[in-house]
A and B are shown apart, each in its own frame.
Chain A
Amino acid sequence: MKKTLTTCAYCACGCMYYLVTDDSDRFIGVEPSATHPVAQGHPCVKGWNVFNFINHPDRLTTPMIRKNGELQPASWDEALDLVVSKLHALQSKYGNDSIMFCSSARTTNEENYLVMKLARAAFQTNNVDHCARVCHSSSVVGLASTFGSGAMTNSISCIDKANTIFVIGSNTTEAHPQIGARVIKAVKNGAKLIVADNRTIRVAKSADIHLRHKNGTDVALINAMMHVIIRDGMENREFIQSRTENYGELKTIVARYTPEFAAEITGLKAQEIVDAAHLYAKSPIGMIIYSVGITQHTHGVNNVRAVANLAMLTGNIGRPGTGVNPLRGQNNVQGACDMGAMPNMYSGYQKVSDDEIRQKYENAWSTTLPTSNGLSLTHAMNAAEEGKLKGFYIVGEDPMISDPDQNHVRRALQNLEFLVVQDIFLTQTTQYADVVLPAACFAEKEGTFTSTERRVQMVRQAAQPAGESRADWNILCDVASRAGYQHMNYETPQEIMEEISSVTPIYGGISYPRIAQLGLQWPCPDKDHPGTPILHAEQFTRGKGCFLPAEYFPPAEVPDEEYPFILSTGRSYYHYHTRSMTGRSRLLDREQPSPYVEINTEDANRLGIKHNEIITVASRRGEVKVAALVTEDIIPGVLFMTFHFEESPANLLTNNVLDPESQIPEYKACAAQIRRIS
């Protein structure tokens, strides 16, 4: 029996636990780390059951090449040579930027760094991005412009120190169980809680104030809260004076957002907004927690800035228990951003457009590099549909299930001349792949993940990769070398991290020996730096915090006569994203074996829909059949679906309309109708 301490591969809470393997390398259990600052001996139900998918017979164990319309087993040599020759051929014919690399927030930092190095150095294109584009790109843009850094400002342990916690756009216990639980415990220990979400989610049951505002009206709500705070003299003048700029513009914009005005927009009572504003502002230590309910809107960046403005207005930044805390979705989505798997940044958020920075990478990588920004993931998918993008190399991602407007994604993927997918299982996306490369899963390789609190932690190998599968970093190096780029050879992931820390100032002091125990939180600029649990303590990363107020705009699609409901999407506690892992874990799949749509009891009664009845949910983009979950937990006029299930894909319905600044799609609001089938 062997116990291997590693970091969880599900959400970004970043729990560590031991994977238990028997003498024949089979996974036989999980033992939580009792000393880890987040796990504290209690993984969530997904963590406890994480080992089930690893030995699953569906794992990809050999490369596959599509021949006569069928994916057929192939050798690594054959598959990788084909990948390189096809990508090169497309580039010769259509130009370097005719291909796109999609990195993966499920893989390690080292692997994300290599995907961007592969794209930029070996294939000479900045067309590289990953799924943060569709979850938290609004945070990266919104917080970078207000604070100078797009990450969670505080640490998870700060929840214990807050007097008031304001949760908005986050189904915390379901998507980030450790954080949700910590919020509930803080309330038990005396903290006050405001939850803004029109569903009665689990954290709302512990809330002092539960704001059930209409979908997509967050800017109006927060502007009105700021209006009240200024009107009632509760703003932190000293902080505004010494730490921020552009306050005048904020004051001007929020002046017209009286609680009564916002009540009209949000569907709340004016007094509820006043109470929430007072509760948050009067608290000496106030924390804001938000997630993709804020970011996944056509005005996602404005939502994020509104949240940042609210924190600055009350001086709730830079101290323990305060802050603006975007909860990142995937185990390593923070790391994938940190590593520069983005079309406009190298690792550590260093701009591609900066000549000096580019030169630094050219020297480090011994090559010249492309100068113009590449395509974002959402723009790339549009370009593929339009026939402008010809080749796509997707690592650990299933856009057929996770991207908006599935029919659009299908057309885009079908339109490609060449699609490579590197994954651990066959997925809906591999249906359109020309080559499938089998990857080792998190338990079969070494590397690091960076959690939502910026904690860089070790991922350790507990068993040999399944079949002929190989670690992603190993595959990527092989592809680079076959593509004729000879500066991507590493014996171990540790060597890759050494290179990362040499070119990435915020990771400058990160090394395997230093993070061996419990990790380090970036920025960690040198080998003696203790890491940074709280950002913006003395000054903001950008110097002064900048108020960037915004006006309220409704979602791109609002209910009308034909599509009278508003549909929002999200996660279930028991499943993870496209279910390739949780769907193959017995207890998790048993808990939530099939898809559902939440519908308010009044709406259901009016339409004659019974609980568990299979109904049709339709939007302008398509329709799905799904069981009705009739509940008071959702307000009338709103529908909610999880996006996990391929048999009733919520993303067949969602709207591929993007925030102009972050290019994030509006997953959280589209117009929909429901119909009884019989």
Chain B
Amino acid sequence: MKVITQNQLHDFLRSLTTKYDVFGPVVLHDGMLSLGQLETKPFKLLSGKIPLRISSIFFPHASTVLTISADRVDVPQAASKPILVIGLTAGDLEALEFTDNFFLTGCRDDLYHQNRSTSIVIGVSGRSSANGDFHKISGGKCDIELINDGERFLVSTYSEKGKTLVDRISAEDEDISLEALQQESNSLPEPDRDIIQKASELLLQDKVSDEFWVNVANQCIECTTCNNVCPTCTCFDMYDVSNKDNVIRYRQWDSCQLSGFMREASGHNPMREQASRARRRIHHKLAADVQRWGKISCFLCGRCDDVCPTGLGMKAVARDIVEQFG
């Protein structure tokens, strides 16, 4: 297994910029973390949560679907360089796997596929040299995983693309065991997992009252942030803009918390009541997805809990469900 320092990693990523559009965690002007392009400073790996949904790198907030001119229809061309994104945690990778399944299984989403199929995803885990926190080891779900032992990154590869790339790292292989780190990873507590699981069961058993959702709705201002930061939310709306010479069809993140989300052209709206929309957000992840995909589609990243202005994130609502109906 190759073992590299932060500086070696930075040099390696720099060397890849001719071939890839290299993204990773950067600090923006206001001090927050975000996915940004590699510049002179090294990426801030294992430095904290990136507030925006990670899937935005492949599924941006707004994008062009097609352009219709008088004599032709153009679809967006693939970017000149494929995307390489580094810095995803085990939780991010679980969410990305779910999003991949959604967009790429069955009726494939071409725009997502265009960005994702050529991409390289590098996960990070282990002990953060920034704050000493230990991050769960993913053990897969990406091309390469960099596992920090507190000083250096141990390089694991999980795909052919990943192996080919890692072969270009000039560091020698070292005979080093992941066992101790893996044990530490396995022993990490997951206090919220039980709550989400219990809430999911209660929803599947239809134990949660209508009144509960009215109460949630009364506190929700429909800012839509919960959806927009959620790494497994994938809904979008499509619309056309007529310009002088063409019509451009766009797609843009949508939110199930908005009344227009389900409104029919007739005006009839099966989710006119806000309470039904409040229920849907939670029910979808904790019950509907369990029935469709066999698993809960909340991977406990806590992004919605971090930012909901009135404290209605997934974990908070799940906790209330368990307290009131468990």
Residues of A that sit less than 8 Å from B by CB: 1, 3, 5, 16, 18, 20, 27-36, 40-45, 48-49, 51-52, 56-57, 173, 177-178, 180-182, 184-185, 188, 202, 205-206, 517-518, 573, 586-587, 590-591, 593, 612
Find A18's partner among B28, B254, B307 (CB 8 Å cutoff).
Answer: B28
State the 9 A-B residue pairs at the shortest beta-carbon distance, nearest first.
A29-B61, A181-B309, A41-B307, A590-B260, A205-B218, A42-B225, A34-B32, A586-B239, A34-B51
Q: Which residues of B contact A (CB under 8 A)?
A: 28-34, 36-37, 51-52, 56, 60-63, 218-219, 221-225, 228-229, 237, 239, 241-244, 250, 252-255, 258-260, 263, 267, 306-311
- Cβ contact of B221, chosen from A51, A180, A591, cutoff 8 A: A180
Picked from B34, B223, B241, B252, the residue with its CB within 8 Å of the CB of A57 is B241
Report Cα–Cα, A41/B313, bound state, in Å: 13
* Partner among B60, B223, B237 whose Cβ is within 8 Å of the Cβ of A587: B237
Given the known inter-chain contacts A40-B309, A181-B310, A205-B218, please indicate yes or no for A31 contacting B34, CB distance below 8 A: yes
Known: A45-B222, A517-B30. A185 touches B310 (CB 8 A): yes
Complex CA distance for A334 and B232, rounded to whole angstroms = 40
Residues of B within 8 A of A590 (CB): 237, 258, 260, 263
Q: Looking across the interface, which residue of chain B has its beta carbon closest to that of A36? A: B30
Pick 27 A–B contacts, CB within 8 A, sort by A: A3-B36, A5-B30, A28-B62, A29-B56, A29-B60, A31-B52, A31-B61, A32-B307, A34-B51, A41-B225, A42-B308, A42-B309, A44-B223, A45-B223, A45-B224, A48-B223, A57-B244, A177-B223, A178-B309, A181-B223, A184-B221, A185-B309, A188-B311, A206-B218, A586-B250, A587-B254, A590-B263
Main secondary structure of the interface of A (DSSP, over half): mixed
Q: Which residue of B lies closest to A204 (CB)?
A: B218
Quick one: closest B residue to A178, CB to CB?
B309
Of the candidates B31, B61, B223, the one having the most CB atoms from chain A within 10 angstroms of its own CB is B223
> By the criterion CB–CB under 8 Å, are A586 and B252 in contact?
yes
Whether the Cβ atoms of B260 and A32 lie closer than 8 Å is: no
Of A20, A206, A587, most buried by chain B (CB within 10 Å of CB) is: A587
Shortest distance from the beta carbon of B24 to any chain A beta carbon, whole Å: 13
Contact B310 A56 (CB under 8 A): no
Q: Within 8 Å CB of A5, what residues of B?
A: 28-30
Q: Please, which residues of chain B bring their CB within 8 A of the CB of A188?
A: 219, 310-311
Is there an interface contact between A48 and B30, defined as CB atoms closer than 8 Å?
A: no
Q: Which residue of chain A has the shortest Cβ distance to B31 in the bound complex? A: A35
Instruction: For residue A366, give the distance in angstroms from its CB to the closest CB of chain B.
Output: 37
B225 to nearest A CB, angstroms? 4
Q: Is the Cβ of B28 less than 8 Å from the Cβ of A41?
A: no
Tell me whether A29 and B62 are in contact (CB under 8 A). Answer: yes
Partner of B32 from the list A20, A33, A593 (CB cut-off 8 Å) is A33
Cβ contact within 8 Å between A43 and B258? no
Q: Which among B219, B221, B224, B241 is the interface contact of A48 at CB below 8 angstroms?
A: B224
Find out whether the CB atom of A184 lies under 8 angstroms from the CB atom of B219. Answer: yes
Q: Is the Cβ of B225 less than 8 Å from the Cβ of A33?
A: no
Chain B residue at minimal CB-CB distance from A47: B223
CA A74 – CA B252 in complex, angstroms? 36
Residue in chain B with minimal CB distance to A23: B79
Q: How far is A25 from B21 in the complex, measured between Cα atoms in Å?
A: 18
Chain A: CB-nearest residue to B63: A28
The CA of A295 and the CA of B84, in the complex, are separated in Å by 55
Nearest residue (CB) in B for A189 is: B311
A259 to B227, CA, bound (A): 47
Closest chain-B Cβ to A209's Cβ sits at a distance in Å of 16
A205 CA to B218 CA, complexed, in Å: 6
Given A3-B34, A518-B30, 15 new contacts (CB under 8 A) = A31-B52, A33-B28, A34-B32, A34-B33, A35-B32, A40-B309, A41-B51, A43-B225, A45-B255, A48-B228, A184-B219, A205-B218, A586-B252, A590-B258, A590-B263
Please name the residue on chain A nearest to B242 by beta carbon: A57
List residues of chain A with CB within 8 A of the CB of B254.
587
A338 to chain B, nearest CB (A): 24
Asked if A202 meets B218 with Cβ closer than 8 Å, knowing A40-B307, A41-B307, A586-B237, the reply is yes
A52–B52 Cα gap in the complex (Å)? 19
Contact of A42 among B60, B219, B259, B307 (CB under 8 A): B307
Residues on A with C-beta less than 8 A from B51 are 32, 34, 41
Q: Which of B28, B52, B60, B260 contacts A591 (CB 8 A)?
A: B260
Which of B30, B221, B258 is close to A35, meaning CB atoms less than 8 Å apart?
A: B30
Q: Which residues of A contact B258 (CB under 8 A)?
A: 45, 587, 590-591
Asked whether A16 and B61 contact (CB < 8 A) given A34-B307, A587-B258, the answer is: no
Closest CB in chain A relative to B129 CB, distance in Å: 22
- Check A587 against B260 for contact (C-beta < 8 Å): yes
B-side contacts of A16, CB under 8 Å: 30
Which residues of A have CB within 8 Å of B62?
A: 27-29, 51-52
CB distance from B234 to the nearest CB of A (A): 15
Residues of A within 8 A of B63 (CB): 28
Cβ contacts under 8 Å, B310 to chain A: 181, 184-185, 188
Contacts of B309 in A (CB 8 A): 40, 42, 177-178, 181-182, 184-185
The complex places the Cα of A28 from the Cα of B222 at a distance, in Å, of: 22
Name the residue on A nearest B33 (C-beta): A34
Chain A residues near B241 (CB-CB < 8 A):
56-57
Given contacts A32-B51, A518-B30, contact A591 B36 (CB under 8 A): no
A206 x B34 contact (CB < 8 A): no
Find the A residue at minimum CB distance from B57. A1
For B255, the chain A residues whose CB sits under 8 A away are: 45, 587
Give the chain B neighbours of A205 by CB distance below 8 A.
218
B311 touching A185, Cβ below 8 Å? yes
Is the pair B306, A41 in contact by a Cβ cutoff of 8 Å?
yes
B259 A591 Cβ-Cβ under 8 A:
yes
Distance, CA A188 to CA B258, complexed state (A): 23
- How far is the CB of B230 from the nearest CB of chain A, in Å? 13
B244 to chain A, nearest CB (A): 7
Q: Which residue of B lies closest to A51 (CB)?
A: B62
CB distance from B201 to the nearest CB of A (A): 26
| Contact in complex: A612, B267 (CB < 8 Å) | yes
With a cutoff of 8 Å between Cβ atoms, the chain B residues found around residue A3 in the complex are: 28, 34, 36
Looking at B30, B32, B239, B308, the one whose CB has the most chain A CB atoms below 10 A away is B30
**B306–A20 CB distance below 8 A:** no
